[in-house]
Amino acid sequence: MRMFFKHNNEVTPLSGWKGNPRGSTVPGDSTLWLLPTFLTLFGLVMVYSATFYVSAERHASDWYYLVRQTGLVALGFTALFGGMMVDVSLYRKYAKLAILGVILLMILQSIFAPLIQSTRRWIPILGLTLQTSELARIVVIIFLARLLSDDVSFGLRLNRALLKPMIPVAIIIALTFLQRDLSGAAMIAALVALILFLAGLEKRQFWAVTGGVVGVTLVAAMVIGYTRKRILGFVNFFLNYDASSISDENYQSFQSMIGFGRGGIFGAGLGQGKQKMAFLPELHTDFIFSNVGEELGLWGAAAVLIAFVILYLKSLKILKLQTDRFCFLFGSGLIASLLMFALVHMSVTVGIIPVTGLPLPFISNGGSSLIISLWSMGVLWQLSRRVASFD
């Protein structure tokens, strides 16, 4: 992806898109909204399949979670349409105001938001809960794209001129961490490193930043009690892999792998999974991919993975043809964010890494991730209409 700027290092203003002699407006790539729509509807089916047992037990109705998720899907499709319609120049225009607004929101949330699962990570809004780290991640992407496109010399080297305006980003990462959302803070930090790399940061400095992010994350994980127990439990299970190594910290990983093993190649059948019967907590959110593997087997899990690969390849092609530096960095951050969440979620469910609590975009139950993911694809579709022309 980094090589895409070799043909166009100057900054092309967004307002010049339509009149840009090297650019053209073309029909958008329909794959960028059709495939997410299919994944979202597929997610509705999987959420119902994963929840009808616990829904009947807790709410006396098989349909409770499905009805709730259907309403969130409607909001998600509204966000998709908004991403397709809102001009990208508006994100650039209000990037600085947006990041200040998110910082203020997160500070107020840390003080006044109600405790949910022993943390103030969510804000109740009209009967729904907004996870502010999801919004913060997107605002950081927009802010960095604006910062690194205002001056092409920014991002080439880590120096005071770059680090000073990065203070708001550091504040957001710190606030996310203080919300006991280590995985969310690590994801934002990783996206910062990636966007700097795409903007032209020297490789040596990029690897230094990456190493710093990994090192700080590991130290923080070992300092915090619940994450340390989770990591040590995962390592113990990975090394021994027997009944004596199962603990509260690795129980979910163990049950998730049982689900995949039971699914085999062709799956146990839609709705026939056993892990939903209180064996695997949070099956409809943090482990929805496990439900796919158990009920639809290897072919079903592979189909989901292939869908994300297609979205990546389509986005890569579109980003390569962008004539505006802001749009390239903005779009790169969006698709990288989606793929990172998807890969981490899948890795957790198959037991490659410890439990992180990240949803699978489009498919997991919940609103914040779904709305942000669909909006992101709407923005990428809009970018697919404004591409470079080298004829």
What local confidence, expressed as pLDDT, does residue 42 receive?
Answer: 97
What local confidence, expressed as pLDDT, does residue 5 receive?
Answer: 40
**Which of 189-198, 251-260, 305-314 bottoms out in mean pLDDT, i.e. has the lowest?**
251-260
Judge whether residue 327 has pLDDT over 80.
yes
Average pLDDT over residues 306-331: 94
Q: pLDDT of 233-258, one tens digit each?
A: 777 776 666 656 676 677 888 888 88
For residue 32 the two structure tokens come to 């960028």
Average pLDDT over residues 12-32: 56
Judge whether residue 94 has pLDDT over 80.
yes
% pLDDT > 90, the chain? 49
Q: Are 195 and 154 in contact (CB under 8 A)?
A: no
Q: What angle do CA 104, 370, 66 make, to 5 degrees?
A: 125
% pLDDT > 70, the chain? 86
Q: Are 206 and 193 in contact (CB under 8 A)?
A: yes
Average pLDDT over residues 249-273: 88
For residue 235 the two structure tokens come to 């390592």
Report the predicted TM-score, pTM, of the whole model to 2 decimal places. Answer: 0.88
Q: In terms of pLDDT, which residue wins out, 165 or 293?
A: 293
Tell me the domain boundaries of the chain: 27-383
Phi, psi of 386 (to 5 degrees): -125, 90
Separation CA 233–CA 245 (nearest Å): 8
Judge whether residue 391 has pLDDT over 80.
no
Judge whether residue 129 has pLDDT over 80.
no
Angle between helices 31-59 and 288-320 (to 10 degrees): 160
Q: In terms of pLDDT, which residue wins out, 241 or 63?
A: 63
Average pLDDT over residues 98-114: 89
DSSP assignment letter at 271: T
What local confidence, expressed as pLDDT, does residue 154 receive?
Answer: 66
| Confidence class for position 101, pLDDT limits 50, 70, 90 | very high
Average pLDDT over residues 366-385: 93
Nearest to 131 by CA among 358, 380, 345, 374: 358
